[in-house]
Structure 1
Amino acid sequence: MNDTPRSLLFWGGSAPMDLGRDVGTRLLRQAAAREVGTQVTVEFPDTPELSALAGSLHRTEVEDPAAAAAWARGQRFDVVLGVREQVQVALAEVARAVGAPGNPPAAVRTVREKDRCRQALREAGLPQPEFRLCEDLAAARAFLSGTTGPWIVKPRDASGSLGVSMVGEPGELAAAVAALPSRAEFVVEQFVEGPEYSVEGVFLRGEPRVLAVTEKKLLPPPNFVEAGHVLPADLPAELQTRFERAVTTALKALDLRFGIFHVELWSTADGPVLGEIHVRNGGDWIHLMLEYAIPGLELFGLVIDDALGRDTGSCVRTPSRAAAVRFLAPPPGRVSRVLGWDTVLEHPSVLRASLTVGPGDTVGEIRESYDRGGYIVVGAETPRQASELADRLAAQVHIVVDTGAEARS
């Protein structure tokens, strides 16, 4: 270890739900194991887990890039990391202001705005669906009139499937636009047919290094909320190579070079088509599954070591086992009881599980990730075993609503 004290700024902290707390505390513990002092900036009022682990905690504006750079100016940190999607542009400005490794702010702005990212990928020679940035319903109707459907309507810069809808015919467009979280500009694009995956990795010495490919399972349209994931995806070697080649080409073309990446894509008959690109860890417990599938991996610790110039060669391996997550999707109604949950908690292969609904709660339509009723994360020796176990355990959970209907999620 270097005798000079090293410091890390955890910009924006983590969201206060179970997933966010696990990500945030894991990052801080991995920093502490490397004898790196930590400070955290937050906007949420109650973050006891972060307060207990961080050297100091600051409350400040974490999403505004100009305010973030002003706060950071004149300070010095060896590493600056952030895990929340909404803080990534501000994070890049902070890293530049304090002289720490980071991605160019302009590159992060590009990937945060879905239309600009699609255009940049197209200019790099990577296939992309037809799309348009729309300011109102009339502009969206004009785009539909000149293209073939189905189409996807989505916010320009949101995450967690918030406001994402499928439009099968023009008569459905107005409802999809009305479901957007704000009246700001939004993106309409052609639907891409094919199974969905994501590619997880890190930048080491500025070069992208793929760690694993994750298979996605989605709830039925018109919304596109994830029902589960399997890591690693059970793929032919040739297809995995094509995924990795497309992702690394895109990351380099976008001038990204630091931290963790999570890149979504579709596998089509004509090859991979890249979707959204994120310069952060994947959500939905992918960080936990990744560290289970690659024994000994510390995802955030790997990035910290790289930022400090330490050797990372022996820390990087490929998955030798597998993990899966399933999310519970109860039907709308008032929950009267939950059956079978104890069976899930008693299973020795469950890595993490939690219910987010219980008796007395009212459940609505699942339109974004936060609407799901709970999750089950399991580990196994192979992707198939992990997927089958997650399905089997989820099927044993019955969330009974007041109409008498049951949900097998």
Structure 2
Amino acid sequence: MATLLMVESWLRSTGHSLPPLIRRLGHDYVLLTKDPALYPDSSSGTRHPVRGNASEIVRADTNDPDAVSAASRAVASRRRIDGVLTTCDYYLPTVATIAHELGLPGAPPDVLHTATRKHRVRQALDAAGLPNVGFAVADSYDAARDAAASLGYPLVAKPVDLNSGTSVQRVDDDAALKDAFHEITAEAHNTRGQARERVVLLERLVEGAEVSVEAIARDGETTIVGITDKSLAGPPAFVESGHMFPADLPAADVADAEAYVRDVLAALDYRHGLSHTELRLTSDGPRLIEINPRQAGGYIFDLLRLVTGVHPLEQLVRLSLGQPPREHEATDVGSAAVFFVISPRPGTVVGVAGTGALDVDPDVVRWQLSVPARAGLPRSNDAYLGHVVVSSASRADARAKAEATVGSLRLRFADGTHARPLGVPSVEALVGAPVHS
């Protein structure tokens, strides 16, 4: 049995999946957190998995480099620590630093400091001479307006250091740019209380299908696990409405995307860890949207598990312990998809009609809804009211099945009105959509 040091975690998704998985693999972990209350009990009184599965909880200011370093060394001085990990983007550089200090497996801290800042990744691609999109970094609205005049609209405005698509938006003119700049730079700290870089990354908008490439690097050798296709709910934000694995792409597009991602990872010197790299497949070839030096979120890790037979979070544990990744296993699942339930308008959603059919649908692997809930306009991937995961023996039709399943639901609002979830194709489109096998 190995003992891991877990430095914070996401609350949902991987935060629910990783802790019990560590136990099932025969290991335990010490949770290092600034506040255990970040991981609250459920309404029924069940302990949050992050706290409930920990063999020990150590409280330390995980946002203070000196404090977290001292706490980590103190834990390692009284019990064996075999690896360090997190599922939370904001603590990836911290984990890399702790692993380096304790002599444990992990990517170099400077690599993670680059890979978790969107503008530094763009700069690294330019330095390596890789295909890139035009971009600029602005620390004032005047600088942003000057950059926009040089780059030309339409543009995408992004924070350089947030996650889940937060505040990422299309801007088509100076007025929209001004609103975006002030929104992106308004908060001095992220949701975990860490000081932010209050600058805006502007990028030329590129057109093309959006995909993500899932990969594993160990000892400098990169293995491509596969490619996930992605659907978006619609402008001006870039909220993801669903995913399918594997993506149904021509072989040439697959080869181009995989080769490009290998080059991107090499430009960052990313030689150890999972990665989730988002691309647009443009008419001029793949172009980077952003890279995440971690496992895929948005339940993509579940899709990979269903198709490949291996859980990406198990691979995270193995890499943290210096072990080689597990080989994929044969499954009877050709494709798997998740589609998210998103309100099409602001309001209080008090119920969802049509859920009874989900329990008897043999293609539905799992579904979850969190209602009643107050819904706003979707501005990030935190806008989800729930999700449905679907599998198929066919390699290409899980997405259509997931969309049709979510499209059969009706959201019921407190004012008595009903609406279909956002981002679901029309019934006519679903019925007429070809299914490739």
Label 1:348 to 1:97 Cα distance change in 2 as closer, same or farther (>3 A).
Answer: same
Matches within 5 A, 1:349-388: 349-358=363-372, 361-388=373-400
Query: Aligned residue for 2:117?
Result: 113
What is the CA-CA distance between 1:313 and the residue it aligns to? 6.2
Does 1:15 pair with 2:10?
A: yes
SS at the partner of 1:399?
Answer: strand
Q: Paired residue for 2:27, among 36, 40, 43?
A: 36
Q: Which shows bigger deviation, 246-255 or 328-337?
A: 328-337
What is the CA-CA distance between 1:147 and the residue it aligns to? 1.7
Contact 2:115/2:121 (<8 A) preserved:
yes
- Provide the C-alpha distance between the structure 2 equivalents of 1:403 and 1:127, rounded to a whole number of angstroms: 51
Label 1:274 to 1:64 Cα distance change in 2 as closer, same or farther (>3 A).
Answer: farther
Does 1:208 pair with 2:199?
A: no
What's the TM-score, normalizing by structure 1? 0.90
Tell me which amino acid in the other structure corresponds to 1:37: D
Label 1:44 to 1:244 Cα distance change in 2 as closer, same or farther (>3 A).
Answer: farther
Contact 1:15/1:44 (<8 A) preserved:
no
- Provide the C-alpha distance between the structure 2 equivalents of 1:134 and 1:318, rounded to a whole number of angstroms: 48
- Provide the C-alpha distance between the structure 1 equivalents of 2:313 and 2:273, rounded to a whole number of angstroms: 9
Contact 1:333/1:403 (<8 A) preserved:
no
Contact 1:155/1:186 (<8 A) preserved:
yes
Question: For residues 72-108 of structure 1, what are the alpha-carbon distances to aligned partners after superposition, in whole Å with 9 as ceiling and x for unaligned?
Answer: 2362522211111111111111111111111111111
SS at the partner of 1:384?
Answer: coil
Matches within 5 A, 1:97-108: 97-108=101-112
- Provide the C-alpha distance between the structure 1 equivalents of 2:421 and 2:160, rounded to a whole number of angstroms: 33
What is the CA-CA distance between 1:264 and the residue it aligns to? 0.8
Q: Paired residue for 1:227, among 227, 237, 241?
A: 241
Matches within 5 A, 1:308-323: 308=321, 310=323, 312=325, 314-315=327-328, 321-323=334-336
**Tell me, which stretches of 5 or more residues in structure 2 are unaligned?**
41-46, 189-197, 423-437
Matches within 5 A, 1:292-311: 292-295=306-309, 297-306=310-319, 308=321, 310=323
Query: Aligned residue for 2:426?
Result: none
Identity %: 30
Does 1:135 pair with 2:139?
A: yes
Label 1:67 to 1:275 Cα distance change in 2 as closer, same or farther (>3 A).
Answer: farther
Label 1:336 to 1:39 Cα distance change in 2 as closer, same or farther (>3 A).
Answer: closer
Contact 1:200/1:210 (<8 A) preserved:
yes
Q: Paired residue for 2:267, among 220, 235, 253?
A: 253
**Tell me, which stretches of 5 or more residues in structure 1 are unaligned?**
none
- Provide the C-alpha distance between the structure 2 equivalents of 1:210 and 1:65, rounded to a whole number of angstroms: 33
Contact 2:31/2:54 (<8 A) preserved:
yes
Query: Aligned residue for 1:199?
Result: 213
What is the CA-CA distance between 1:396 and the residue it aligns to? 0.8
Tell me which amino acid in the other structure corresponds to 1:204: R
- Provide the C-alpha distance between the structure 2 equivalents of 1:54 and 1:347, rounded to a whole number of angstroms: 36
What is the CA-CA distance between 1:44 and the residue it aligns to? 4.4
Tell me which amino acid in the other structure corresponds to 2:53: L
- Provide the C-alpha distance between the structure 1 equivalents of 2:119 and 2:266, rounded to a whole number of angstroms: 18
What is the CA-CA distance between 1:353 and the residue it aligns to? 1.3
Does 1:148 pair with 2:115?
A: no
- Provide the C-alpha distance between the structure 1 equivalents of 2:410 and 2:50, rounded to a whole number of angstroms: 34
What's the TM-score, normalizing by structure 2? 0.85
Question: For residues 9-38 of structure 1, what are the alpha-carbon distances to aligned partners after superposition, in whole Å with 9 as ceiling and x for unaligned?
Answer: 2221x2223x14333335423xx42x3332
What is the CA-CA distance between 1:311 and the residue it aligns to? 5.5
What is the CA-CA distance between 1:63 and the residue it aligns to? 3.9
Contact 2:217/2:274 (<8 A) preserved:
yes
- Provide the C-alpha distance between the structure 2 equivalents of 1:135 and 1:85, rounded to a whole number of angstroms: 23
- Provide the C-alpha distance between the structure 2 equivalents of 1:100 and 1:319, rounded to a whole number of angstroms: 37
Q: Paired residue for 1:85, among 86, 89, 106?
A: 89
- Provide the C-alpha distance between the structure 1 equivalents of 2:207 and 2:355, rounded to a whole number of angstroms: 35
Query: Aligned residue for 2:61?
Result: 61
Question: For residues 321-363 of structure 1, what are the alpha-carbon distances to aligned partners after superposition, in whole Å with 9 as ceiling and x for unaligned?
Answer: 21101111212123243211222233222222111232xx332
Q: Which shows bigger deviation, 362-371 or 343-352?
A: 343-352
- Provide the C-alpha distance between the structure 1 equivalents of 2:383 and 2:327, rounded to a whole number of angstroms: 40
What is the CA-CA distance between 1:382 and the residue it aligns to? 2.6
Contact 2:105/2:319 (<8 A) preserved:
no
Query: Aligned residue for 2:166?
Result: 162
Report the count of equivalent residues. 397
Contact 1:104/1:255 (<8 A) preserved:
no
Q: Paired residue for 2:301, among 269, 287, 299?
A: 287
Contact 2:111/2:269 (<8 A) preserved:
yes
Contact 1:354/1:375 (<8 A) preserved:
yes
SS at the partner of 1:392?
Answer: helix
What is the CA-CA distance between 1:398 and the residue it aligns to? 0.4
- Provide the C-alpha distance between the structure 2 equivalents of 1:26 and 1:241, rounded to a whole number of angstroms: 36
What is the CA-CA distance between 1:383 and the residue it aligns to? 4.2
Query: Aligned residue for 2:193?
Result: none
- Provide the C-alpha distance between the structure 1 equivalents of 2:322 and 2:94, rounded to a whole number of angstroms: 24
Contact 1:214/1:233 (<8 A) preserved:
yes
SS at the partner of 1:267?
Answer: strand
Tell me which amino acid in the other structure corresponds to 2:228: T
Query: Aligned residue for 1:6?
Result: 2
Tell me which amino acid in the other structure corresponds to 2:405: L
What is the CA-CA distance between 1:256 and the residue it aligns to? 1.2
SS at the partner of 1:138?
Answer: helix
Label 1:303 to 1:374 Cα distance change in 2 as closer, same or farther (>3 A).
Answer: closer
Tell me which amino acid in the other structure corresponds to 1:280: R
Contact 2:19/2:54 (<8 A) preserved:
no
Tell me which amino acid in the other structure corresponds to 1:25: P
- Provide the C-alpha distance between the structure 2 equivalents of 1:111 and 1:310, rounded to a whole number of angstroms: 23
- Provide the C-alpha distance between the structure 2 equivalents of 1:67 and 1:279, rounded to a whole number of angstroms: 24
